[in-house]
């Protein structure tokens, strides 16, 4: 399917993000779905072409590969320094390299048990990998899409009999199914009114005969729309009991601008400099041989020209005759300065650490290193990424998941009971984080669950707090009062033996 979309041959990229698809209708029905879908496709097709360009760019299909050279065209290197993929990989790993966890916001122990049940469901559907794939799309093209539905087959075969006391649940199966969708073939339609709420989610496939089948999901219905070439569109309507739109958009920012998209001109310039740099080396190695005042004609002259030999007239009145080498080497130090400048600028714009080697002082503190290398800027940019991820995750994804769980295996959780936890760089500053944890646990004014979730030591603070409490209850030893008195007397006696003689006697 991707091969049918325009690629780098038509780089119609505006560098301003993707366009949000709006509709004036508040509700989509079988009567207006074709008109609304046709209007939305005008915007989506442009978005899709740009997303496809950015996707191919990240894969290494970049404009430098189409480079042409007029002077000495036989030496035309096309070097791709794929920093675009480096940006996407870093931003994705920084946000969700550690699993995104759900933790409890309440004090009731039963909530913690329900949170564990929710996390178990996420583990069974492989949500960790789904989050990584989703964030890769977000950082590439500014938006990503997730689809969540019920595991209808499992519910019908196992959960329903279990509810009627006729069987047992499969511990290795989830009642939920989730998918990361390709944004080139998926989009969400929003109402243009106050708040711009979503009114439909759309995904489509293209068959071998070029027929496209569009599936439009609303809160209550699913419409299958078939656009056959030369024929009127057909619509099939099906009710669905989920009562929510299963396709959810996760925009990276309000203008749906990808992380690598911010620096595309600089990335192209870096490729150009690298290609010219290799050209300079190759041209120096293959320097031209100049014949001064030597007359060579015919086939012999053509053969020499193919081997890099040119003929010039005598350069002086005396008629200099001889052979020389025409060579001028590119200054690699100056070129490296330009490369370093462009890379540093790129890293600063996208929020990546700028100092990968060198420039280190033994007197630098941990905070100074973070400020110098750009980690503080990385953290600053990661926070809005978190907020942009949390909104659709909480308002749409978790609402759908809880709805499915309530109707099947049961849960008492509500959205206000759940907090979404991102854990980044848990391996750094361990001493300081451990001290924070100990200080918070030492006071009776802070709940242990808050101490575990705040210190940043654990990827799953809810589970860490629970296991720590179980371990503490297991190894805690209560010393009887008689034993305490014996220990106290022994300590006093030992203290008297080593105390100095204050009565004036001699002591050694």
What DSSP state is assigned to residue 295? -
CA pseudo-torsion sign 170, 172, 176, 181: negative
CB 63 within 8 A of CB 268: yes
Q: What is the pLDDT of residue 477?
A: 58
Which pLDDT tens digit goes with each residue over 178-208? 999 999 999 999 999 999 999 999 999 888 8
List 221's β-bridge partners, or say none. Answer: 239
296 pLDDT band, cuts 50/70/90, is low
Q: Write the Ramachandran bin of 409: left for phi over 0, alpha for psi from -120 to 50, otherwise beta.
A: alpha
Per cent of the chain over pLDDT 70 is 74
Q: Are 354 and 374 in contact (CB under 8 A)?
A: yes
Average confidence (pLDDT) over 443-460: 79
What confidence tens digit (pLDDT) does each residue in 9-22 have? 444 455 678 999 99
Q: What are phi and psi of 150, to 5 degrees?
A: -85, 150
d(CA 2, CA 97) in angstroms, rounded, equals 28
Bridge partner list, 238: 222
Element (H, E) at 465: helix 461-475
| pLDDT 10s digits, 455-466 | 777 766 777 887
In the structure, what pLDDT confidence band is assigned to residue 438 with cuts at 50, 70 and 90?
confident
501 pLDDT band, cuts 50/70/90, is very low
The CA-based diameter of the chain, rounded to the nearest angstrom, is 123
Please, is 44 exposed, middle or buried when counting C-beta atoms within 10 Å of its C-beta (0-12, 13-18, 19+)?
A: buried
* Residue with more model confidence, 246 or 495: 246
CA distance linking residue 246 with residue 396, whole number of Å: 9
Task: Classify residue 358 as left (phi > 0), alpha (psi -120 to 50) or beta.
Answer: left
Q: Are 424 and 382 in contact (CB under 8 A)?
A: yes
Phi-psi region of 72 (alpha: psi -120 to 50; beta: other; left: phi over 0): left
- pLDDT range class, residue 29, cuts 50, 70, 90: very high
Helix axes 109-124, 399-407, angle to 10 degrees: 100
Domain segments of the chain as ranges: 1-59+183-249, 263-377, 426-497
Beta carbons within 8 Å of 181's beta carbon, 6+ residues apart: 144, 145, 146, 147, 203, 247
């Amino acid at each position: 399917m991707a091969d049918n979309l325009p690629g780098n041959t038509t780089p119609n990229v505006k560098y301003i993000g993707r366009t949000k698809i709006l509709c004036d209708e508040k509700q989509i029905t079988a009567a207006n779905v074709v008109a609304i879908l046709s209007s939305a496709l005008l915007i989506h097709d442009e978005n899709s072409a740009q997303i496809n360009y950015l996707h191919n760019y990240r894969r290494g299909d970049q404009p430098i590969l189409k480079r042409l050279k007029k002077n000495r065209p036989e030496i035309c290197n096309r070097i791709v320094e794929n920093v675009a993929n480096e940006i996407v990989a870093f931003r994705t790993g920084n946000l969700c390299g550690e699993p995104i966890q759900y933790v409890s916001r309440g004090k009731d122990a039963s909530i913690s048990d329900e949170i564990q049940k929710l996390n178990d469901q996420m583990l069974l559907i492989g949500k960790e990998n789904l989050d990584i794939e989703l964030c890769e799309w977000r950082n590439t093209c500014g938006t990503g899409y997730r689809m969540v539905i019920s595991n209808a087959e499992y519910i019908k075969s196992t959960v329903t009999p279990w509810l009627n006391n006729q069987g047992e649940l499969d511990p290795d199966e989830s009642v939920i199914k989730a998918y990361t969708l390709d944004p080139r073939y998926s989009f969400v339609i929003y109402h243009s009114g106050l708040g711009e709420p979503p009114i439909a989610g759309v995904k489509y496939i293209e068959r071998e005969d070029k027929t496209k089948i569009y599936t439009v999901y609303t809160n209550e219905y699913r419409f299958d729309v078939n656009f056959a070439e030369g024929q009127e569109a057909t619509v099939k309507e099906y009710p669905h009991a989920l009562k929510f739109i299963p396709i959810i958009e996760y925009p990276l920012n309000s203008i749906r601008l990808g992380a690598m998209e911010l620096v595309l001109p600089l990335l192209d310039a870096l490729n150009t400099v690298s290609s010219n740099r290799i050209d300079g080396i190759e041209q120096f190695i293959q320097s031209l041989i100049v014949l001064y005042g030597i007359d060579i004609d015919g086939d012999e002259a053509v053969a020499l020209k193919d081997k890099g030999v040119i003929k010039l007239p005598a350069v002086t009145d005396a008629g200099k005759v001889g052979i020389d080498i025409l060579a001028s080497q590119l200054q690699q130090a100056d070129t490296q300065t330009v490369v370093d400048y462009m890379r540093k600028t790129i890293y600063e714009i996208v929020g990546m650490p700028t100092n990968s080697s060198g420039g280190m002082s033994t007197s630098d503190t941990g905070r100074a290193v973070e400020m110098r290398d750009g980690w503080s800027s990385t953290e600053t940019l990661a926070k809005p990424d978190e907020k942009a991820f949390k909104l659709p995750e909480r308002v749409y994804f978790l609402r759908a998941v809880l709805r499915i769980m309530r109707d099947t295996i049961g849960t008492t959780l509500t959205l206000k009971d759940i907090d979404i936890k991102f854990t980044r760089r848990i391996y750094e500053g361990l001493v300081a984080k451990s001290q924070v944890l100990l200080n918070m646990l030492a006071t009776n004014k802070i709940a242990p669950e808050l101490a575990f979730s705040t210190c940043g030591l654990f990827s799953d603070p809810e589970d860490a707090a629970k296991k720590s409490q179980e371990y503490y209850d297991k190894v805690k030893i209560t010393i009887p009062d008689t034993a305490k008195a014996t220990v106290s007397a022994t300590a006093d006696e030992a203290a008297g033996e080593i105390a100095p003689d204050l009565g004036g006697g001699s002591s050694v």
